[in-house]
Amino acid sequence: MLKGHAFRFHKRSTDSSAKADAFETGNTSDVVWGVIFEIDDREKPRLDDAEGLGAGYDEKITTVVDERGQEHRVLLYISDADHIENSLSPFSWYKRFVVDGARQHALPAEYLAVIAAMPDVQDPDQARDRRNRSIAC
């Protein structure tokens, strides 16, 4: 868990929808749950590209706490302030990726319910919508 942050769909994407962000609130009661992955240093440039580093996302090193209370230093991709647009919603297929991923990794049910209840919109690009809906999570 990452304290002092809130999960938001507010990062403006190139497809005019909202993508996910761990938004720093400074309020210690706000928590973002997630999963820690370890990658080979040689794979970092590919991950940076896939995550949009420099194209709306920045990176920061922060500390998270696991379910056993152990602290871990992690790299986190966060929305660049210039790319935050609170009026946007995620496409429904994108929100499904986030919710299904949270479910697969057994994140807290209450947290999952909050994300699942967030508004979404249909993707106007029907081909992209079909393509992304066909991806099994």
Residue 133 near residue 95 (C-beta atoms within 8 A): no
Domains of the chain (ranges, CATH numbers) = 2-133 (3.10.490.10)
SS3 101: helix
Is the whole model's pTM more than 0.85, yes or no? yes
Residue 3 near residue 30 (C-beta atoms within 8 A): yes
pLDDT at 94: 98
pLDDT of 94-129, one tens digit each?
Answer: 999 999 999 999 999 999 999 999 999 999 999 999
Two structure tokens written together for 34: 């997630």
State how far the alpha carbon of 46 is from the alpha carbons of 49, 50, 88, 99, 122, in Å: 5, 6, 27, 24, 29
pLDDT of 8-36, one tens digit each?
Answer: 999 999 999 999 999 999 999 999 999 99
Average pLDDT along the chain: 96
pLDDT at 62: 97
Residues 6+ apart with CB under 8 A from 101: 35, 137
Q: What CA–CA distance (Å, rounded) separates 117 from 106?
A: 17
